[in-house]
Amino acid sequence: MNDQHEKLERPRVQAMDEILGKQFKVLNDGFIRVVDYMGADESIVQAARVSYGKGTKKVREDIGLIRYLLRHHHTTPFEMCEIKLHVRVPMDTWRQWIRHRTANVNEYSTRYSVAIDASQTTKSDQWRLQAKSNRQGSEGFIDKKTGAELTRKEKELQQLCRRMYEERLETGIAREQARKDLPLSTYTEAYWKTDLHNLLHFLRLRMDEHAQYEIRSYADIIGNEIVSKWCPITWHAFNDYWFNGQSYSRLETEIIKAIAANNNEKAIQLAKEFGLLKYKDGKIKSNLERNELEEKLKELEIEPPWKEVE
Amino acid sequence: MNDQHEKLERPRVQAMDEILGKQFKVLNDGFIRVVDYMGADESIVQAARVSYGKGTKKVREDIGLIRYLLRHHHTTPFEMCEIKLHVRVPMDTWRQWIRHRTANVNEYSTRYSVAIDASQTTKSDQWRLQAKSNRQGSEGFIDKKTGAELTRKEKELQQLCRRMYEERLETGIAREQARKDLPLSTYTEAYWKTDLHNLLHFLRLRMDEHAQYEIRSYADIIGNEIVSKWCPITWHAFNDYWFNGQSYSRLETEIIKAIAANNNEKAIQLAKEFGLLKYKDGKIKSNLERNELEEKLKELEIEPPWKEVE
Amino acid sequence: MNDQHEKLERPRVQAMDEILGKQFKVLNDGFIRVVDYMGADESIVQAARVSYGKGTKKVREDIGLIRYLLRHHHTTPFEMCEIKLHVRVPMDTWRQWIRHRTANVNEYSTRYSVAIDASQTTKSDQWRLQAKSNRQGSEGFIDKKTGAELTRKEKELQQLCRRMYEERLETGIAREQARKDLPLSTYTEAYWKTDLHNLLHFLRLRMDEHAQYEIRSYADIIGNEIVSKWCPITWHAFNDYWFNGQSYSRLETEIIKAIAANNNEKAIQLAKEFGLLKYKDGKIKSNLERNELEEKLKELEIEPPWKEVE
Amino acid sequence: MNDQHEKLERPRVQAMDEILGKQFKVLNDGFIRVVDYMGADESIVQAARVSYGKGTKKVREDIGLIRYLLRHHHTTPFEMCEIKLHVRVPMDTWRQWIRHRTANVNEYSTRYSVAIDASQTTKSDQWRLQAKSNRQGSEGFIDKKTGAELTRKEKELQQLCRRMYEERLETGIAREQARKDLPLSTYTEAYWKTDLHNLLHFLRLRMDEHAQYEIRSYADIIGNEIVSKWCPITWHAFNDYWFNGQSYSRLETEIIKAIAANNNEKAIQLAKEFGLLKYKDGKIKSNLERNELEEKLKELEIEPPWKEVE
């Protein structure tokens, strides 16, 4: 017997083992499957304790430790967990996904093989209208009748694109060139592997209400159906601190302090000094930073101290 | 003439050109020099406008745009600026510095050349005491008399280590092995190149009051003497949002909301529910998350609603 | 006067300054422009000399040093040079380009702005046939008559896709959704910034004859028109060692050694041992590794010692 | 039952499970332990087949596929395997190790805890002499008598450094400052996690005969005792192609071609043209590139065609 051989087993998470390989459906024909994972909440604690040496010891403090690490952006222990997903996703969504650089990727090659014969389709009640408040978002849906017409044309167009693709292949054109006019809605597949820290970063951005609906649908599944089972303590802390937390700039803190001290005069004065509050012809001028502060005050159920008219 | 040749020049920042190559002194024998830089505040705007296409146009909105990008963690435009520094730093500090992985590095090789003959020394009034509140910090200084004694011994030890190193070299021992017992206080030099986004991340962590004094000394110079000149708009926004900003968890937001509504009862109730507030034998139990919340309340000049004794 | 202020200027490369902003045309409507650059051949030497300290000094050895660094994969000094390009490229090509993760990117946003109204088009003599020898490549062109027909249909399809896109926008559909069926041939634009080491890695893969024609067209311009001017010594070494160099496995080296010693018997024996050479029914069996070795021998103008028939 | 649930299990490698947690001893007091791993040879194949889609199918071609991927630097499938090690290593060695940036790291914190009380010691027959041929290496050992003296002094110095460290702590000095004169030979510990591709890159550089003995000792264990068990097919291919393979520049290929054609005249002529071969006062001038070519020729058991004297 080797007395220096502290017998180890790879950490297992039963709830994860149960969903290994399971297809979580997304959009009309997409999916996410967990292919493999490394580590668990306990691995984060284990790694942190290496850093902190004999300094911390009590096992029942694990939750507190994970919350502390996440709150203070001590991110390296979260990198000790790794996950590998198999995803099927429209190329348009994949274009956004792949921008997260700290991940390992193997994508289905349409140079090597014939492109997947499936596209993201839109139901008649799913056509979203351009947001007015936000240049890059959507809000509300078009009426069903117009939607039905758009859906019909979408189908025709996708069929036509596919037919053209297959014609080119039949004529002998190389796959790498034949694919050039496939629509962005065409599905692709990939293995995508990343560590928990980078995954949480991905989720924070892509589960956000400003993220595009399509990628948000994938992110929601990864967060709520997968990470929540894999590392439940971390998932809970992530929601408290990162996802549902709120940040205040120095300026905002100063203004809230004045309001909390019932000094609305000073709050208004500060907002003016900071350039957040200006009036023109007696009317308040639009200002993005002030709008966001007002949103935050609303969350705190605090009335902004300034008026629409001077 | 090529009519498609929009004549370009590399962006210049005069205040940077003036300090190019200048040695900013740090610690007893360290320094930082700017060797080169790419881009400026205007390059961030330029890159962002590529992303946003024709959507944004008015030049006078540059400040607003940079502040918006930084506030919302749209970090990629900040990666469009790059800086190259030449630093001289104790190996112990370098051990922390090098943990920032997204940078390009060329360090002085003590395999190839004789180690730099300089160590970080400590004056008699610079010996810091172990912090009591914080396992990994320091607070206050030891008395000068004891300090003088420590300084004397430090000098002796450093001289002894150097003599041993040189003896080994004289005996013919390979540099790569002779160096093995050099003290961590030995200076090294490096070229260090990184982009502005990663540099700001470095500064946020290393200018923080919890960062170790030594690396904080370097970070302070980089921030206050260099970035402030290079990209002044970004620097200002960084200070408002990232460096002097404050984050509140979902739990904290809920509690502050109750306090702001003058409902201290509810605030106490929430703190109990969230596990932040417990009493034992009538006395409040220590809790790290509550301590941090109390710190934040203090910043807002709000009295915590709970009492030390139940 | 500060005597420690070694006056510095940012390295300039005149041949680069002359092409700054110039549009190099690629494909039917793409381009590459140099927006900014940092460093030059001399910066590589400067960084290497920091590593090697006082060990190397003679200025006239710069070429030798750069060649040495590149040959021995001492890659960090090459990371000290940085370049920023503005590119216009079909989304299909961008899909390959973006897989190079160590780069900074800002891409034109079709959530925020209307998609660029241009697609990659194919002339009648540019339709490539599927390669037979290589599953993922192309070889030769289809006859012009068939090509003309494909070109006509390509145009129709692209116009139809664009019309549908614009119809959706006119109906009020959000840009982020309307774009979903744009063809992969649609042009996008991006700022792309990377260091010289990673750029050379990109060029090695993308200038390779097996790279797809489209991305190779961009890589050729970057290499031959830009890097060759920016860092001519490095460019020359890159061509000698990385791009036009050749690698031999241990097995291949053993076999070549036997051939060089005029011991064909032994070479055949080794090829059999290594599993490269098998006969079935008296005929040589196809083997990918042996094919590649035969290609390399051909380059050396050495006749393979084995026969097609046993 | 969910018919879309292809039941999966995490790939297991029995030979790895048997060594999980086992301490492989390195140097006088260092070690390496495997803490966890993800994937196996089969995962590389699995990921590659996603890329290549239905193009490749036969299971018995796995070896050929892995060899093909490695030979052609198709590195992404190798990133699908991940390993986590627990290492104990002298800080001087760690300084080299940590330069590999694509890895996740948690290191023992000497701000938080008292430094590990162990240093790398050198036996009397282990003192290496400075290499003459190579500025940054070592060759041969010093005589045992001198070695014994160096070992005695090493011990004294290490004890003195430790005593000083402990004295400082006893005086109340903060751990973060007290450590500043610990010798580089002090052991540290870390969790180090990386993917197989980056690990092979690490091994190629650190198992190389030019790597420093200390880090080579660690790399040898990781390669020969761990990767060889984890992914044996990959390990074998790595040795054939990357580790024991050989590269020839375009110039070298030209010269070898001439030699192979028994045209020594031409080989000499080419060497002169390429600047590899110069004579001065009838004697051959030293040239690093030619020396390396001569080494490669020696491996092929080919006599260089040029003479020492003209």
The CATH number of the domain where C74 resides is what?
A: 3.30.1360.170
Whether residue A98 sits in one domain with residue A126: no
Task: Please say if the pLDDT value at position C1 is more than 80.
Answer: no
Whether residue D224 sits in one domain with residue D285: no
Chain B to chain D Cβ contacts (< 8 Å) = 149
CA distance B8 to B3: 13
Residue type, D178: A
B67 located within any domain: yes
CA distance C29 to D154: 69
From chain B, which residues contact A within 8 Å (Cβ)?
Answer: 52, 55, 64, 67-68, 71, 73, 135, 205, 239-241, 244-253, 256-257, 260-261, 288-289, 292, 299-302
CA distance C65 to C45: 7
Q: Are D169 and B164 in contact (CB under 8 A)?
A: no
Residue of D nearest to C257 (CA): D300
**Domain ranges, residue D264:** 250-299
Residue of D nearest to A83 (CA): D38
Q: Which of B37, B76, B113 sits opposite C52 (nearest CB)?
A: B113
Q: Do A249 and B240 touch (CB under 8 A)?
A: yes
Q: Do C260 and D300 touch (CB under 8 A)?
A: yes
Q: How confident is the model at residue C117 (pLDDT cuts 50, 70, 90)?
A: very high
Whether residue D172 sits in one domain with residue D29: no
What average pLDDT does range A86-104 have in this prediction?
Answer: 96
Residue type, C86: H
CA distance B48 to B10: 18
Whether residue A211 sits in one domain with residue A287: no
CA distance C87 to A180: 19
- How many angstroms from the chain centroid is the CA of residue C213? 10
Which chain C residues are within 8 Å of B118, Cβ to Cβ? none
B304 located within any domain: no
Q: Do C84 and B38 touch (CB under 8 A)?
A: yes
Quote the DSSP letter at residue A285. P
Q: Do D244 and C244 touch (CB under 8 A)?
A: no
What average pLDDT does range C218-237 have in this prediction?
Answer: 97
D5 located within any domain: no
Chains with ≥3 CB–CB distances under 8 Å to C = A, B, D
Q: Which of B250, B289, B302 sits opposite A244 (nearest CB)?
A: B250
Whether residue D281 sits in one domain with residue D156: no
Residue the block writes with tokens 């947001």: A131
Q: How confident is the model at residue A252 (pLDDT cuts 50, 70, 90)?
A: very high
pLDDT for res C24 = 98
Residue of A nearest to C138 (CA): A174
For strands A24-26 and A104-107, give the pairing: unpaired
Q: How confident is the model at residue A234 (pLDDT cuts 50, 70, 90)?
A: very high
pLDDT for res D308 = 85
Q: Which of D176, D179, D193 to mutate to test the interface with B (most CBs of B within 10 A)?
A: D176
Whether residue B178 sits in one domain with residue B157: yes
Residue where a domain stops, chosen among B228, B245, B262: B245
Alpha carbon distance, N-terminus to C-terminus of chain D: 84
Q: What is the Cα gyration radius of chain D?
A: 25
Whether residue D150 sits in one domain with residue D19: no
> Is the C-alpha dihedral spanning B257, B258, B262, B268 positive or negative?
negative
State the complex-level ipTM: 0.93
Beta strands in A254-301 (DSSP E): 279-280, 283-284
Model pLDDT for residues C106-115, shown as the tens digit of each residue = 999 999 999 9
Q: Which of C52, C247, C259 sits opposite D247 (nearest CB)?
A: C247
Please give the full DSSP string across A94-156, using - where no structure is assigned. Answer: HHHHTT--SSEEEE--TTTSPPPS-B----TT-PEEEPSS-TT-EEEE--HHHHHHHHHHHHH
From chain A, which residues contact B within 8 Å (Cβ)?
Answer: 52, 55, 64, 67-68, 71, 73, 135, 205, 239-241, 244-253, 256-257, 260-261, 288-289, 292, 299-302
Task: Please say if the pLDDT value at position A148 is more than 90.
Answer: yes
The token pair at C197 is: 């080491």
Residue where a domain stops, chosen among C243, C262, C283: C243
CA distance B263 to chain A (A): 12
Chains with ≥3 CB–CB distances under 8 Å to A = B, C, D
Q: Are B51 and C107 in contact (CB under 8 A)?
A: yes
Q: Which of B8, B21, B104 sits opposite C79 (nearest CB)?
A: B104
Whether residue C233 sits in one domain with residue C93: yes
- Which of A148-157, A240-249, D214-223 shows the lowest per-residue confidence on average (mean pLDDT)? A240-249
| Active-site residue set of B | 206
CA distance B97 to chain A (A): 15
- How many angstroms from the chain centroid is the CA of residue D49? 29
D307 located within any domain: no
pLDDT for res B134 = 78
Mean pLDDT over all residues of chain A? 92
B305 located within any domain: no
Task: Please say if the pLDDT value at position C146 is more than 50.
Answer: yes
CA distance A38 to D10: 9
pLDDT for res D190 = 97
Please give the full DSSP string across chain C, using - where no structure is assigned. Answer: --TT---------HHHHHHBT--EEETTTEEEEEEEEE--HHHHHHHHHHHHGGG---GGGHHHHHHHHHHTT--GGGGG-EEEEEEEEEHHHHHHHTT--SSEEEE--TTTSPPPS-B----TT-PEEEPSS-TT-EEEE--HHHHHHHHHHHHHHHHHHHHHHHHHHHHTB-HHHHGGG-BTTBEEEEEEEEEHHHHHHHHHHHSSTTS-HHHHHHHHHIIIIIIHHHSHHHHHHHIIIIIS-EEE-HHHHHHHHHHHTT-HHHHHHHHHHTT---EETTEEPP-HHHHHHHHHHHHTT---SS-SB-
Q: Which of B28, B93, B130 to mutate to test the interface with D (most CBs of D within 10 A)?
A: B130
Whether residue B195 sits in one domain with residue B67: yes
Q: Tabulate helix, strand, coil % of chain A (nearest 5).
A: 50, 15, 35
Q: Do D257 and C299 touch (CB under 8 A)?
A: yes
Q: Are D239 and C250 in contact (CB under 8 A)?
A: yes
Quote the DSSP letter at residue D223. I
Whether residue A172 sits in one domain with residue A32: no
The token pair at C119 is: 């697609």
Q: Which of C135, C288, C302 sits opposite D260 (nearest CB)?
A: C302
* pLDDT block averages, 10 residues each, chain B of length 310: 62 95 97 97 91 56 90 93 98 97 95 96 97 87 97 98 98 98 98 98 95 98 98 96 91 92 93 93 91 92 89
Residue where a domain stops, chosen among A195, A211, A243: A243
Whether residue D228 sits in one domain with residue D83: yes
pTM: predicted TM-score of the whole model, two decimal places = 0.95
pLDDT for res C235 = 97
% residues pLDDT > 90 (chain C): 82
Which chain A residues are within 8 Å of B67, Cβ to Cβ? 289
Half-sphere exposure of C165 (CA within 13 A, CB side): 25
pLDDT for res B60 = 55
Q: Do C247 and D244 touch (CB under 8 A)?
A: no
From chain C, which residues contact D within 8 Å (Cβ)?
Answer: 52, 55, 64, 67-68, 71, 73, 135, 205, 239-241, 244-253, 256-257, 259-261, 288-289, 292, 299-302
Whether residue D98 sits in one domain with residue D45: yes
A273 located within any domain: yes
Q: Do A240 and B248 touch (CB under 8 A)?
A: no
Q: Are C111 and A212 in contact (CB under 8 A)?
A: yes
CA distance D207 to D223: 8
B307 located within any domain: no
**Domain tally for chain A?**
3
Which chain C residues are within 8 Å of A135, Cβ to Cβ? 112
CA distance D147 to chain C (A): 27
Q: Do C241 and D249 touch (CB under 8 A)?
A: yes
A306 located within any domain: no
Q: Do B107 and C51 touch (CB under 8 A)?
A: yes
Residues in chain D predicted with pLDDT less than 70, given as ranges, are: 1-6, 52-60
CA distance C86 to C226: 13
Nearest to C193 by CA among C167, C168, C222: C222
Nearest to D75 by CA among B204, C85, C100, B88: C100
Greatest mean pLDDT among B297-301, C64-68, C83-87 lies in: C83-87
Q: Which of C98, C101, C184 sits opposite A181 (nearest CB)?
A: C184
| Sequence-separated (6 or more) residues with CB below 8 Å from residue B245 | A247, A248, A249, A250, A252, A253
What average pLDDT does range A6-22 have in this prediction?
Answer: 91
Q: What residues are paired with B107 via a beta bridge?
A: B190
CA distance C204 to C196: 12
Q: Which of A244, A289, A299 sits opposite B67 (nearest CB)?
A: A289
Mean pLDDT over all residues of chain C? 92
SS3 D303: coil
Q: Are D284 and D306 in contact (CB under 8 A)?
A: yes
Residue of A nearest to D111 (CA): A52
Q: Which of D52, D245, D256 sits opposite C300 (nearest CB)?
A: D256
Chains with ≥3 CB–CB distances under 8 Å to B = A, C, D
Residue type, B168: R
- What burial letters (b/e) apply to A153-172, b meaning 16+ CB within 10 Å? bbeebbebbbebbeebbebe
pLDDT for res C55 = 47
Residue the block writes with tokens 């510990």: D189
pLDDT for res D2 = 39
Q: How confident is the model at residue A1 (pLDDT cuts 50, 70, 90)?
A: very low
Out of A206, A216, A250, A290, the active site residue is A206
| Cα D96-D98-D104 angle, rounded to 5 deg | 160
From chain D, which residues contact C within 8 Å (Cβ)?
Answer: 52, 55, 64, 67-68, 71, 73, 135, 205, 239-241, 244-253, 256-257, 259-261, 288-289, 292, 299-302
